[in-house]
Amino acid sequence: MIEYVLGALQKSEGPISRNQVLATLARWGHSTTRPSLNAALAFLGDEGMVAEGSKGLIWVPEASSQLLEAIRKGPHL
């Protein structure tokens, strides 16, 4: 289930609503309930793989170790 939710987010061209995720999963033959979707999104959010903003959900690609190091050690504003 989590893989399908992540796949739906990765294939979207921008922020996507929970309803759009549910519709995409249904089209793929993997319908689910909103509580199950929310649990999957909470897990993905805790792992830093999904972010939620005012326009919806978006997949967050994994940052390279070099980028993470630059963020940690770089100047702060």
What is 2-73's CATH number, 2.70.70.10, 1.10.357.10, 3.40.50.720, 1.10.10.10? 1.10.10.10
Average model confidence (pLDDT) for the chain? 90
CA distance 30 to 15: 21
Cα-Cα-Cα-Cα dihedral sign, residues 56, 53, 13, 59 = negative
Residue 69 pLDDT exceeds 80: no
**Extents of the domains making up the chain:** 2-73
Q: Indicate the pTM of the whole model.
A: 0.77
* Residue that the structure tokens 């190091």 belong to: 69
Tokens of 44: 């993905």
CA distance 18 to 38: 8
Cα three-residue angle 75-71-59, rounded to 5 degrees = 140
* Residue that the structure tokens 């319908």 belong to: 31
The pLDDT score that the predictor gives to residue 73 is 83
